[in-house]
Amino acid sequence: MKHPDWKETKEQRRMLRRIATDLAMEELYMLKKAEAKRKRQFDKLLLERWKARQAAKNGGVGHDG
């Protein structure tokens, strides 16, 4: 014989799983967002350095802010 409130338990389990999934997805989203931000900053830094190097190579001519 099944537990009298087995249906309720099933619902609770489903709800819990949904909440856990939502939290995991949110955490993943935040991580990805932070990673993207870091990458953008890194790319910007690389670009700045590259521009500086190009400017130095060209004797400081053609440097556009």
Given a cut of 60, whether residue 65 has pLDDT beyond it is no
The length of the chain is 65
Q: Residue written as tokens 């400017």? A: 55
Determine what percent of the chain is predicted with pLDDT higher than 90. 69
Paired tokens of 20? 């856990």
Average pLDDT, the chain: 87
Given a cut of 80, whether residue 21 has pLDDT beyond it is yes
Given a cut of 90, whether residue 50 has pLDDT beyond it is yes
* Cβ-contact 47, 40 below 8 angstroms: no
Paired tokens of 51? 């521009």
pTM (two decimals): 0.54
* Cβ-contact 52, 60 below 8 angstroms: no
CA distance 20 to 27: 11
